[in-house]
Structure 1
Amino acid sequence: MSSGRLAGRYALLRPLGAGGMGKVWLARDEMLDREVAVKELTLPEGMSPKERADSVTRAVREAQATARLRHPGIVALHDVVVEQDRPWLVMELLRGRTLAETVRDFGPLPPAHAAKVGADVLEALSVAHAQGMQHRDVKPGNIFLTESGRVVLTDFGIARQEGQATLTEQGLMIGSPGFIAPERLEGHPGGPASDLWSLGATIYVALTGAPAYSGSAAQRVRATLTQPVPVASGPLGPLLSAMMAGRPAARPDPRMVVQALRQVASGGPAPRLQISQDVTAPSRVPGRGRVVVWVAAATAVVVVAAVAVFFVLRGQSAGTPAAFTAPMDVCTLISAEEAGRLLRTQNPPKGQPDADDEGPKCGWPIQGTGIGLQVQKDSDTVDPWSMTPVSAHALLESQKRWWNKYDELTWTWPEIGVKDKRKATRTPVHPVAGVGEEAFGFELKGPTGRIHSAHVYYRLANLVVGVEYSTLAERPTDEDIRQSALRAAQASVQALRDAG
C-alpha cells in the first residue's frame, strides 16, 4: 500500500473506528467510483513468519466463505486484499446507526419494530447456517439499521465454518459476555441454536432498553450460567425466553420463531409455540474451578487464551476500580488549575467537549498551545464505559501498531493557530512508565526537526485514554514538551482514580 491507497484502487479516506482486531476505514473505490468500508485486520504480535502466513491464508479463506453469503440482511463483502502481510476486507458502506446506538439514543423499540428487526436478522442467520456458518457474535452493536430501512447483520469477523478453526480463535475473541449462549461459555463449540440464543438476548435489549443480564462482564457470565432468563413484558416476552432456553435442544425451531416475529411485526399477537418446559432453566453449571476460570476470562470479553485469563487476574493498582462503568464528563479529567500550569497561563480556558466515532474528547486550547484528551473505544463497543480490561488492552495494542505504521503524517489544530494541514514526522513509539497500568508515547517533529507535539496513550482498568500536548512556541525544549504531555496524562489518571 502506498500513499493511502490499497491494491491501487481503494483510497483510504479516514478511519471510522478501531477494535482489538483492527481498524475500519472509509475508502473510495476509484475503479467503480463508490465509497466502501475497508476493514484492516491486524494479527497478534510475536507470530513467526509461518504463523503469520498461515493466519493470512486462514483469514482469506474465512472471507471467501463469508462472501458466499448473499442476502440483503448480511453486509456484502466486495473484495479481499492482502498487503503489508495482512488481509484487508472491502465491504459495502452502510449509512445509518447500529441497534445499540438506536436504543441508547432513542430508547427501547416498540414490540412490532423489535420483532421486525429480529425476524430480518434471523432470516439472514438462517442463510449463514444453511452454509455451515455460525456468526458467534450476534449483539446490538453488530446489527445495523440503515437509512433505507434495511436491517443488516455485520461483522462476521469471528464467524466459524463447521469443522474449521478460525483466525480469531488464534487471536482470542469468541464473543461478548451477556450475548454468549451458555453452552459456549461452558466450552462447547455451539451451533445455530447458539446464535438463536444470542439473537434472543439482542432483541431483549431492543425491547426493554437494558440487557437481560447486567453488571460487569464477569457478573453477566455468571448470571448466564446460573440464573433463569428474565421474562420481558409484552407479546415478545415468552418467545424471547424460549429463544434463550438454557439447553440448545429446548429452543424453538428458527422457522417457527421467524413466523412468530413476523406476526408480531404485523401487529398481531405472538402465537403459542410448542416448546420444552425448561425454557428458562440455565444449562448445566460446570465444576467450580472451571466457572472461576471462565468468569475471570470473560471479564476480558475474550474467553480463550490463558494469557488473557492471567491478565485479568492481575491485581489492580491501589485506588483504581476494576472498571469505570459510569459515563463522565471527560473535561473534568484535567482541572483548570492543572491546565493553567501546563499552558503557562493565569487564565486557562474551559475544556471544550467534543465527540467522534472513537470516543468523547476534550480540548484546552489557547493561541499557540493546547492540551487534548480523548477516552477511546473500539468499533465493537457502544461507549468507553462498556469496555473491559482486556478489550481495553487489545485496543491499546491496536493503537500502538497503528501509529507504528506511519512515520509521516499531517496534523492541524485550528484552535491553537494551525488552520492548514502541516506535515510532521513521528518519532519511534516508545513505552511510557508511571502512567496508568500500561502506556506508550511518541512525538511529532516539524520541518526543522524540533518537537511540537507529544502524545501519550495509556490504559487504566477498562479505559484507554489518549493525551496530546502541542505548542507552536520556540522556547520550550523537546524535553519540556514531552514532560508536559506526561504531566497531563498523569493528572488525568489521578482524576480518574479520584472519581472511581
Structure 2
Amino acid sequence: MSSGRLAGRYSLLRPLGAGGMGKVWLARDEMLDRDVAVKELTLPEGMAPKDRADSVTRAVREAQATARLRHPGIVALHDVVVEQDRPWLVMELLRGRTLAETVRESGPMPAVHAARVGADVLEALSVAHAQGLQHRDVKPGNVFLTESGRVVLTDFGIARQEGQATLTEQGLMIGSPGFIAPERLEGQPGGPASDLWSLGATLYVALTGGPAYEGTAAQRLRATLTQPVPVAQGALGPLLAAMMAYQPPARPDAQVAVQALRQVAAGGPAPRLPVNAVATAPRRVKRRGRAVLLIAAGAVVAVAGGATGFVLLNDTGGATPSAFTVPMDVCTLITSQEVGGLLRTQSPPKAQPDSDDVGPRCGWPISGTGVGLQVQKDSDTVDPWSMTDVSARTLFQNQKRHWGKYDDIDWTWPEIGVKDSRRAKRTPLHPINGIGEEAFGFELKGPTGRIHSAHVYYRLANLVVSVEYSTLADRPTDEDVKQAALKAAQASERALRHAG
C-alpha cells in the first residue's frame, strides 16, 4: 500500500475506530465511486513467518466464508486485500448507531422494539448457521441500527467455520465478557446455541439498559458460570431467560425464538416456552488445585499449544497490581506539586479533565507549556477499567505499531498556544525501562530540529497510559523535554501502583 491507497483503488480517508483486532477506516472506492469501510486486521508481534502466513491464509478463508452470506441483516463484504503481510476487509459503509450507543444515549428500548431487533439479528444468524458459520461475538456493539431502519449484525472477524481453526485461536480475543456463552467459557467450541445465548444477553441490555451480569470483566465471567440467569420484567423477560439457559439443549430452537420475538414485536404476549430448571441452573465452577478455572486469558478464552488455557486474575500482593477494576479520577495521577515542578512554576495550573473515544484524560496547560495524561481503552471496551491484561497488551502493541508508521505528524495544543495544526517530525520509537511492565517513547521535532514534545506510553497490568510533555520555549534542551515526560510518566505510575 502506498500514499494511503489500498490495492490501487481504495483511498483510506480517516480512521473510524480501533480495537484489539485492528482498525476500521473510512475509505473511498475510486473504481466504483462510493464510500466503503475498510477493516485492517493486525496480527500479534513476534509470530514466526510460517505462523503469520498461515494466519493470513486462514483470515482470508474466513472472509471468503463470510462473503457467501447474503442477508440484509449481515454487513456485506465487498473485497479482501492482502497487503503489508496482513488482510484488509472492504465492507459496506453503514450509517447510524450501534445498539450499545443507542441504549447508552436513549436508555432502554420498549419491548416491541427490542423484540424486533432480536428477531432481525436471529434471522441473520440463522443464515450464517445454515452455512456452518458461528459469529461468536454477538453483543450490543456489533448490532448496528442504520438510519434507514435496517438491523445489521457486524464484525464476523472472529467467526468460526465448523471444522476449522480460526485466526482468533492464534491468541487473539474470542468474545466479550458478559456476552460469552458458559459452554465457551468452559473451553467447548460451542455452536449456534452459543450465539443464541449471546443474543439473549444482548437483548437484555436493550430491554433493561444494563448488562445481565454486572462488574468487571472477571466478575462478569464468574457470574456467567455461577449465578442463575436473571429474568427481566415484561413480556420478553422469560423468553430472554430461556435463550440464556445455562445448558445449550435447554435453549429454544432458533425458529421458535424468532416466532416468539416477532409475536412480541407485533404487540402480543410472548408464548410460554417450556424450560427445564435443572438444565438452566449454573453448575459449580470447576477447580484445579486451588486455582479457579474461569477467568479466561485476560477475560477471553485463548488457545495455546493445542489446549484451552486459562489465567486467574487475582491480587498477588506484589508491587504490580494484577488488574485495575475501580474507575479513578485520572487527574489525581499527577499531584499539583509534581505538575509545578514539571512546568517550573510555583502556581501550578488547575487540572483540566476531558474524555474522548480513547479514554479519560487530563491536561495541565499554561502558556507555552503543558503536561497531558490519558488512560486508554480499545473500541471494544466500555472503559479502561474493563480492559483485561490481554486486551491491554494488544492495545499497547497496536499503539506502538501505529506510531511507528508515521514520520510526519500534525500536532496541536490550543491551551498552550498551538491553535493551528503544526507539522512535526517523529523521532524513532525507543523502549523505556523501569516504567510499567512495558513502555516506549518518542519525540516530536519542529522546523528547527529541536524537540518540543516528548511522549511516553506504558502498560501496567490491564491499563495503557500515555503521557505527553510539550513546550514552546527555546530554553529547555532536548534532554530536558524528554526527562520531563519521563518524570510525568513515573509520577503517574507510582500513583497507580499505590492505588492498586
Q: State the TM-score, normalizing by the size of structure 2.
A: 0.92
The answer to whether the Cα contact below 8 Å between 2:197 and 2:244 also exists between their aligned partners in 1 is yes
Partner residue, 2:319: 318
Partner residue, 1:297: 296
Q: SS of 1:3's equivalent? A: coil
What percent of counterpart residues are identical? 79
Q: SS of 1:231's equivalent? A: coil
With over 3 angstroms needed to count, the CA separation of the structure-2 counterparts of 1:10 and 1:369, relative to structure 1, is farther
Identify which range, 231-240 or 351-360, moves more after superposition.
Answer: 351-360
The answer to whether the Cα contact below 8 Å between 1:18 and 1:378 also exists between their aligned partners in 2 is yes
Partner residue, 2:281: 281
Identify which range, 183-192 or 437-446, moves more after superposition.
Answer: 437-446
With over 3 angstroms needed to count, the CA separation of the structure-2 counterparts of 1:163 and 1:439, relative to structure 1, is same
The structural deviation recorded for 1:469 is 1.2
Partner residue, 1:14: 14
Q: SS of 1:341's equivalent? A: helix
Partner residue, 2:203: 203
Q: Which consecutive residues of structure 1, in runs of 5 or more, have no partner in the other structure?
A: none
The structural deviation recorded for 1:313 is 6.7
The answer to whether the Cα contact below 8 Å between 2:371 and 2:470 also exists between their aligned partners in 1 is yes
With over 3 angstroms needed to count, the CA separation of the structure-2 counterparts of 1:24 and 1:487, relative to structure 1, is same
Partner residue, 2:102: 102
The structural deviation recorded for 1:364 is 2.5
With over 3 angstroms needed to count, the CA separation of the structure-2 counterparts of 1:457 and 1:432, relative to structure 1, is same
Q: SS of 1:400's equivalent? A: helix
With over 3 angstroms needed to count, the CA separation of the structure-2 counterparts of 1:244 and 1:311, relative to structure 1, is closer
State how far apart, in whole Å, the 2-side matches of 1:427 and 1:314 are. Answer: 38
The structural deviation recorded for 1:138 is 0.9
State how far apart, in whole Å, the 1-side matches of 2:3 and 2:422 are. Answer: 16
> What code does the residue aligned with 1:178 have?
G
With over 3 angstroms needed to count, the CA separation of the structure-2 counterparts of 1:331 and 1:93, relative to structure 1, is farther
Partner residue, 1:376: 376
State how far apart, in whole Å, the 1-side matches of 2:91 and 2:332 are. Answer: 39
Identify which range, 446-455 or 36-45, moves more after superposition.
Answer: 446-455
With over 3 angstroms needed to count, the CA separation of the structure-2 counterparts of 1:384 and 1:209, relative to structure 1, is same
Identify which range, 10-19 or 76-85, moves more after superposition.
Answer: 10-19
With over 3 angstroms needed to count, the CA separation of the structure-2 counterparts of 1:145 and 1:354, relative to structure 1, is farther
The structural deviation recorded for 1:479 is 1.4
The answer to whether the Cα contact below 8 Å between 1:137 and 1:175 also exists between their aligned partners in 2 is yes
The answer to whether the Cα contact below 8 Å between 1:250 and 1:278 also exists between their aligned partners in 2 is no
The structural deviation recorded for 1:108 is 2.1
State how far apart, in whole Å, the 1-side matches of 2:452 and 2:130 are. Answer: 57
The structural deviation recorded for 1:291 is 9.6
Q: What is the RMSD computed on CA atoms of the aligned residues?
A: 2.5
With over 3 angstroms needed to count, the CA separation of the structure-2 counterparts of 1:11 and 1:414, relative to structure 1, is farther
Q: What pairs up with 1:132-151 in 2 under 5 angstroms? A: 132-151=132-151
Q: SS of 1:197's equivalent? A: helix
With over 3 angstroms needed to count, the CA separation of the structure-2 counterparts of 1:314 and 1:23, relative to structure 1, is farther
Partner residue, 1:249: 249
The answer to whether the Cα contact below 8 Å between 2:170 and 2:303 also exists between their aligned partners in 1 is no
The answer to whether the Cα contact below 8 Å between 1:218 and 1:298 also exists between their aligned partners in 2 is no
State how far apart, in whole Å, the 2-side matches of 1:308 and 1:250 are. Answer: 27
> What code does the residue aligned with 2:228 have?
P
Q: SS of 2:187's equivalent? A: coil
The structural deviation recorded for 1:335 is 3.5
Deviations 1:454-479 (A, max 9, x none): 11112233221211111222211111
1:409 equivalenced with 2:405 (yes/no): no
State how far apart, in whole Å, the 2-side matches of 1:299 and 1:8 are. Answer: 39
With over 3 angstroms needed to count, the CA separation of the structure-2 counterparts of 1:344 and 1:286, relative to structure 1, is closer
With over 3 angstroms needed to count, the CA separation of the structure-2 counterparts of 1:383 and 1:426, relative to structure 1, is same
Partner residue, 2:351: 351
Aligned residues: 498
The structural deviation recorded for 1:325 is 3.2
Q: State the TM-score, normalizing by the size of structure 1.
A: 0.92
With over 3 angstroms needed to count, the CA separation of the structure-2 counterparts of 1:438 and 1:2, relative to structure 1, is same
Partner residue, 1:186: 186
